[in-house]
């Protein structure tokens, strides 16, 4: 990223932080926001929890959607996956959730700077807790979760990839970058992220992203001696493993217990 771009991102984030954040109400609410990166405006949504659900600094979840939600309507990314789950629990879901939207025909490996900038802006504006910042995504967003975790692991206290992977022979553009020269990309990722709590979800009947990808990642993390790796495979689920994943009560108790004391501090 060019120095000028970095300065523009910092300025945009500072301006966002200067605006008065909406007061938290009795129910959580979704807010529409936008941020210019490299001369292009990227729109996103932020769920802000109810006052009683998250007193003080709230945890922050960055959610990366799948291929079908790409576009520029700033709507589709909250219609599938974590958005409906959070909306159905608007009174008591206890975290800020940031919902970037990838433009048509783009991949998350091309949009890491955008997602990070939107995460920073939302965390500042709505008083999020950098020590409790989490990353999740489904399908294309599951690949994106691995991508962003590898790029800036210090940001996140835990990562939850759903029906994702590292490589995709039928769609090589979606593959996680920086692994082409690795003899075993699964082992390489596990070594680099073995200190980060990870919970992987996949459907056993998935015919779009093979569950073998997640099985190999789980095995690699265990072989690397990862401190906290979990893998849940739903035996009857096809590609939509996100609905049962986000409806797993134990996920949220586990996730919000994780902390990253070395998280990047937002100035």
Task: Encode pLDDT of 48-60 as tens digits.
Answer: 999 899 888 999 9
Domain range summary for the chain, segments of one domain joined by +: 3-18+30-256
Residue 56: the pLDDT is 85
The residue with greater pLDDT, 172 or 20, is: 172
Strand order in the sheet with 40-48: 29-37, 40-48, 96-100, 58-64, 128-138, 158-162, 198-203, 229-234
User: What's the CA gap between 29 and 70, in Å, rounded?
Assistant: 22
Least confident of 6-15, 95-104, 204-213: 6-15
15 pLDDT exceeds 70? Answer: no
Residue pair 122/42 in contact (Cβ under 8 Å)? The answer is no
Q: What does the block give as tokens for 18?
A: 């200067």
- Give the mean model confidence (pLDDT) for residues 106-121: 97
Percentage of residues of the chain with pLDDT beyond 70: 88
Q: What does the block give as tokens for 212?
A: 């073998």
Q: What is the pLDDT of residues 204-260, one digit of tens each?
A: 999 999 999 999 999 999 999 998 999 999 999 999 999 999 999 999 999 999 998
What's the fold here for domain 3-18+30-256?
Rossmann fold (3.40.50)
Residue 263: the pLDDT is 56
Residue 10: the pLDDT is 42
């Amino acid at each position: 990223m060019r120095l000028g771009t970095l300065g523009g991102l910092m300025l945009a984030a500072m301006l966002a932080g200067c605006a008065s954040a909406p007061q938290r109400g009795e129910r959580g609410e979704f807010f529409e926001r936008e941020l210019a990166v490299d001369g292009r405006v990227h729109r996103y949504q932020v769920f802000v929890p109810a006052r009683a659900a998250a007193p003080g600094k709230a945890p922050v979840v960055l959610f990366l959607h799948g291929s079908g939600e790409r576009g520029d309507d700033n709507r589709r990314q909250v219609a599938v996956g974590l958005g409906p789950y959070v909306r159905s629990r608007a009174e008591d879901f206890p975290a800020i959730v940031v919902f970037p939207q990838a433009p048509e025909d783009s991949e998350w490996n091309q949009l890491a700077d955008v997602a990070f900038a939107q995460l920073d802006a939302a965390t500042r504006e709505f008083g999020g807790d950098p020590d409790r910042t989490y990353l999740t995504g489904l399908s294309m967003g599951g690949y994106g979760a691995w991508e962003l975790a590898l790029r800036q692991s210090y940001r996140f206290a835990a990562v939850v990839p759903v029906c994702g992977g590292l490589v995709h022979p039928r769609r090589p553009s979606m593959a996680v970058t920086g692994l082409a020269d690795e003899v075993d990309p699964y082992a390489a990722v596990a070594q680099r992220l073995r200190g980060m709590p990870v919970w992987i979800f996949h459907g056993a009947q998935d015919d779009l992203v093979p569950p073998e990808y997640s099985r190999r990642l789980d095995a690699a993390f265990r072989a690397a001696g990862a401190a906290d790796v979990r893998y849940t495979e739903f035996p009857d689920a096809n590609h939509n493993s996100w609905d049962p994943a986000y409806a797993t009560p134990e996920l949220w108790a586990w996730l919000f217990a994780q902390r990253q004391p070395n998280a990047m501090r937002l100035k």
